[in-house]
Chain A
């Protein structure tokens, strides 16, 4: 496919699915301005480096990877800022001690270890296949599976309960 055409497809895909990318970013940052910045940065990076995109088939996973990376980079940056500012506040906002196993699953997913958290969000919220997730994270599919099960276990969800595919 011509680069020109691929570029247009990429733009169309981004515009069409902008809300998904915003939600994914927001699920990490919990802040409207930061999530908007992430989406904007991701678009900027993707369109600037669209030459690295190999084919239309890879478009979806390629862009998810950029959004995830941007989200996590900013998430860590914010966390560091808060840590250096005020230790107590961190306790409340990021550890969220008040929650336990009886709290809702969504909140617990957001406290999950980073690797498993990404996989669970992509699998259950964005409904990517394991194959696609492997592409997004640049991991072997067996590694993705193992991490997914470990994550589900941590959430106290039986492997059979949520695993339709």
Chain B
């Protein structure tokens, strides 16, 4: 046997510690997480750039965009709601502040959902901002036409605001609401709710959570909750109009709360006088 073969045998007999495969696995997993994280970051940046361009051309104003990348997902989470872009613009007549959310999902098979939701959020924000600006302009013209002065108008401090609130953010559910409001009237305030199930990759409906009788379940639950309020303080129940209430259909606004129960949001005047504003009712599944 030649000496080089012996040397190779000696080299090959270097014992392999048991830990090796574990350490290799650990490092591969760590790298994988890092890589997905950076892929996600790239997508956020590119998507945000698209939104910025659309907004600049859409509104044709000179906003200063503030990047908010500090709120980037924590490694390990499957999905994240973050501020895509926020900007404020102020002219003599009008102040606009917009905070657009976006979602980022790690799972590759959920990329379509991510795109669809982000486009929808963008469309909602852009449309609201555009329409609100139109209404502000109409209001200004009407104000001046009916004898108001420019100084008086400026004192109104007219503003438009678009923003979002996160309701729930877990490995299974993302629930958020995007809101638009105008300072001079609440008649055009709009809310759009996004409830996503990351396991199925679908938008959640009340039927998904409560079953086919979701409308009945919600109706009974809300009436029972109003009834309970009445049992505590009889005069409070007069603040509700349960008899006039039509119940809900599949278009009702709701979100998923931290306990993963749906919370139905009833519009002003739907079940109570306008002064009560929107009312929220948590719906627990019936036994």
A interface with B by C-beta (< 8 Å): 7, 11, 14-15, 18-19, 22-23, 26-27, 32, 36, 39-40, 43-44, 47-48, 104-106, 109, 121, 124-125, 157, 161-162
Contact = CB atoms under 8 A, between A and B. Distances in A.
A14 B24 contact: yes
Contacts of B32: 11, 47
B34 A48 contact: yes
A157 B6 CA distance: 13
Contacts of A162: 2, 4
A48 B7 contact: no
Contacts of B6: 104-106
A41 B228 CA distance: 63
B27 interface: yes
Interface string B1-41: 01110111011101011011101111110111011000000
A135 B10 CA distance: 26
B43 to A, nearest CB: 14
Contacts of B7: 104-106, 109, 124-125
Given A44-B31, A47-B35, A18 B11 contact: no
Given A36-B19, A105-B6, A15 B34 contact: no
A23 B11 contact: yes
A32 B17 contact: yes
B12 A18 contact: no
Contacts, number: 78
Contacts of A125: 7-8, 11-12
Given A36-B19, A47-B35, A48-B31, 13 more contacts: A11-B32, A23-B12, A27-B11, A32-B17, A39-B24, A43-B27, A44-B27, A44-B30, A104-B6, A104-B10, A124-B7, A125-B7, A125-B12
Contacts of A19: 16, 20
A162 B1 CA distance: 11
Contact of A105 (B3, B30, B34): B3
A10 B242 CA distance: 65
Contacts of A121: 11
A47 B31 contact: yes
Contacts of B26: 40
A43 B21 CA distance: 12
A36 B17 contact: yes
A26 B14 contact: yes
Nearest to B21: A18
B8 A124 contact: yes
A15 B35 contact: no
A77 B276 CA distance: 72
B169 to A, nearest CB: 27
A47 B16 contact: no
Contacts of A27: 11, 14
Nearest to A46: B31
Contacts of B30: 44
7 contacts: A39-B20, A39-B24, A47-B27, A47-B35, A105-B7, A125-B12, A157-B3
B2 A43 contact: no
A39 B23 contact: yes
- A27, A32, A161 pick with most chain B CB within 10 angstroms: A32
A14 B34 CA distance: 18
B24 A40 contact: yes
A-B complex: 3 closest residue pairs judged by Cβ atoms: A47-B31, A106-B7, A105-B7
B23 A105 contact: no
